[in-house]
Amino acid sequence: MSSAPARHSNVLIFGATSAVAAEVALNYAARGDRLHLVARNREKLTDLARRCESTTATTQVADFSQLESNGQVVRQAIAALGHVDTVLIAHGDLGDQLASERSFTDAEHTLRVNFMSVVSLLIPLANHLEQARAGSIGVITSVAGDRGRPRNYTYGAAKGALNTYLQGLRTRLYAAGVSVTTIKLGPVDTPMTRDHKKHALFGKPQSVARSIVRALDSRQGEAYVPSFWRAAMPIVKNTPEWLFQRLAILSGR
């Protein structure tokens, strides 16, 4: 007797045109999953959908910084797919740390993009999947959220708040059979980090994307990507502050 064919998933990606998210989309497309891609740049979305031609990929333009509109953005995205199996929220902005130290406007922008806009998407998404009693949510955060460092503490504060929010959401949705994966991403060699000096710890978008898909498939609660950050970050997090402040490798800009 032949086995039934595997059911393809419906995958919804917010911030789909970032270098990492685009590679995630290509991974899902290669295995035949249906995609709905949401991002700000229409031309980049069109190009990504073309690259995902091995499957059905629809697109939607949205600016996630417009917080009051994000509920409608989510409703339109869910309607486009009809049924949602997997959601990935992948947008973010490193911001300008020095500017955020001198201007609340700049600090608020970094906090809004990296925390508040994500929450404004998560609330309607979580409510929908909780009612459906199925599905997986993945959110890309950052290892920067594990400890405040002078070089990026405004961005890190937003990601740290998001990590805490996801912990609570994960436990809330557990009873409904919905998984929530916190993806703590280390630095990746992408346009977002073009002004950063590269070193051996920088990940590559293709391998990072494969790790993200594996984490979502296995419904992990928390995944460090690349995985070596799981061993490195306890040192960063647990170093006493008096020592941390004296170690330039940890506390420097």
Q: Where are the domains of the chain?
A: 10-251
Beta bridge partners of 203: 188
pLDDT-derived band at 49 (thresholds 50, 70, 90) equals very high
pLDDT, position 1: 40
CB atoms within 10 A of CB 220: 17
Q: Is the pLDDT of residue 3 over 80?
A: no
CB atoms within 10 A of CB 6: 8
Pairwise CA distance, residues 30 & 212, whole Å: 15
Mean pLDDT score of the chain: 92
pLDDT-derived band at 193 (thresholds 50, 70, 90) equals low
CB 209 within 8 A of CB 20: yes
Looking at 3.40.50.150, 2.60.120.10, 3.40.50.720, 2.40.37.10, the CATH number of the domain 10-251 comes to 3.40.50.720
Q: Is the pLDDT of residue 184 over 50?
A: yes
pLDDT, position 250: 76
| Antiparallel, parallel or unpaired: β 10-14 and 34-39 | parallel
CA distances from 86 to 71, 122, 125 (A): 18, 13, 11
**What is the reported pTM?**
0.91
pLDDT, position 174: 98
Q: For tokens 């391998």, name the residue.
A: 207
